[in-house]
Amino acid sequence: VHAGVTEDGPRVALYGCQRRTPLAHSNQALTDALETLAEEAGFGGSEGRSLAFTRAASVLKSLPGPLTSLGELSPLPCIGEHSRKVIQEVLEDGVSVEVERVKLSERYRTMKLFTKIFGVGVKTAIRWYQEGLRTLADLQERHTELTREQQAGLQHYTDLNTPVERSEADTIERLVQEAVWQFLPDASVMLTGGFRRGKQQGHDVDFLITHPQEDKEVGLLSKVIRWLDSQGFILYQHSQRNTYQLPGDPELLSSGGGSSMDRFERCFSILRLARLTQDKDLPPGSGAQGICTQGGCGAARGWKAVRVDLVVAPFSQFPFALLGWTGSRHFERELRRFAKHKRKMILNSHALYDMAQQMFLPAASEEEIFQHLGLEYVPPTERNA
């Protein structure tokens, strides 16, 4: 018996953070269909509906084998009426008429096009759509109304929507380490996000930087950025100072609690990466091998623009930051929801606060955070909820 059923009843737990979700699973056609509807609901401003489809898809991702009949759905949590209907259609006909209609609709296609621009969220895309804009050329005409970030996003649209390969992420990791270690040799640079969960491709490359001696990391990021820029690696960057105040940051403790945005010092950037096919032309042995500088191969367009996020966390907050930046987005959302509703705790990327005891719960590792939450540890590669 697969489909998550044991003799004791459903094996699939209610919250995504209580389940193990590997990257590869057996129900891709079903989850693709549900996730299209989740996306479409989000484009229409229906957050609740969007979440319902996302949760249903996430449950299917955790199943040990392919779902073959509707009956296997009954012990599973989070499968609403609408999701059930879509699943039935895909099981019986291979496709869902509703999903196919959505994918062809003008709004969905335009919203996809616009939200794939770096710096453009759903709200902005909706506004443009309502104003009658439909193509990237339409946006080019309104160039002056775009933010600097959106202009960069538009300029590098093709590159930024070409998946970043794992090998490219590794190359960028070596470059970031080279930059960081010049200023702080004992700092650690960790690849987080999807690549830490085992993905072979990503939409960006996420790094978390820390130093075992707290406060040493202060001021590091601006030096790193300045060096990268002087070497010609920066196509765009926007840095933010750390605005988190310990202890008892009022915003952390306010009702909303665990928000997904954090207040670490960080830099959203677009870096210039040499295409790996050109690796052989570059001098070997340099940490920056594979990355292109302005004078080098830019003219021949032997480079590719890649989105890179650099986040600096003080050592005591590092495990929370690592947990928060490893994802998946849905796993994070479920962790925070579980903490709040099942444990009366507030979790974010800085800290864990126990509302009953009215105290922060420190942690030296991700494992300890799971322990505080009374959750079985889920390794990064099983967090693809």
**3-state DSSP call for residue 315?**
helix
- For ligand DGT, the binding residue among 4, 258, 319, 327 (CB under 6 A) is 327
Applying CB under 6 A, the span of 35-43, 175-183, 197-205, 355-363 interacting with ligand DGT comes to 197-205
User: Which amino acid belongs to residue 198?
Assistant: G
- For ligand DGT, the binding residue among 40, 89, 168, 262 (CB under 6 A) is 262
325 binding partner (options Mg ion, ligand DGT, none; Cβ < 5 to 8 Å by kind)? ligand DGT
| 328 belongs to the binding site for ligand DGT (CB under 6 A) | yes
Residues 6 or more apart in contact with residue 93 via CB below 8 angstroms: none
39 binding partner (options Mg ion, ligand DGT, none; Cβ < 5 to 8 Å by kind)? none
- With CA atoms as reference, report the closest residue to 80 among 100, 103, 51, 108: 51
| 349 belongs to the binding site for ligand DGT (CB under 6 A) | yes
- For ligand DGT, the binding residue among 143, 329, 341, 344 (CB under 6 A) is 329
Catalytic-residue membership of 204: yes
Give min distance, CB of 259 to Mg ion, in A: 18
Could you tell me whether strands 201-202 and 164-165 are parallel, antiparallel, or unpaired per DSSP bridges? Answer: antiparallel
Pinpoint the alpha helices (H) of the chain: 28-43, 47-61, 81-93, 97-104, 106-115, 122-130, 136-141, 148-155, 157-160, 166-183, 193-196, 220-230, 250-253, 318-326, 329-343, 366-372
Applying CB under 6 A, the span of 14-22, 72-80, 153-161, 200-208 interacting with ligand DGT comes to 200-208
- For Mg ion, the binding residue among 39, 168, 173, 206 (CB under 5 A) is 206
| 332 belongs to the binding site for Mg ion (CB under 5 A) | no
Could you tell me whether strands 265-274 and 234-240 are parallel, antiparallel, or unpaired per DSSP bridges? Answer: antiparallel
Give min distance, CB of 297 to Mg ion, in A: 26
Q: How is residue 85 written in tokens?
A: 């209907």
- For ligand DGT, the binding residue among 4, 153, 202, 258 (CB under 6 A) is 202
| 204 belongs to the binding site for ligand DGT (CB under 6 A) | yes
Residues 6 or more apart in contact with residue 372 via CB below 8 angstroms: 345, 352, 354, 361, 363
Summarize as ranges the residues that interact with Mg ion (CB under 5 A).
193-194, 202, 204, 206
